Structure 1
Amino acid sequence: MTAETEQYDDDEHDQLARARLVRRMRSEGGTVAYETCLAACRDEKAPWNARTQAARSILDAGGFFKTTAHDELEEKNPAEMTAAELDQAVARAKASLQAPKKRSASTPPRNTLKSGNAFD
Structure 2
Amino acid sequence: MLYEAMKKEIESQFPSLQFSTDDEKKLISIPPVCNEVGSIDIQDDYDELTVFVGNFTHWHCGYFNEKTDSPDEVKEIVTEVSEYLKDMFSDKIFMWGSSMKGGGTQLIEDGFKTKKQGYVWSGPYYS
TM-score of the superposed pair, with normalisation by structure 2? 0.24
TM-score of the superposed pair, with normalisation by structure 1? 0.25
Higher Rg: 1
Identify, as 1 or 2, the structure richer in strand.
2
Q: Relative contact order: is structure 1 or structure 2 higher (C-alpha 8 Å, sep ≥ 6)?
A: 2
Identify, as 1 or 2, the structure richer in helix.
1
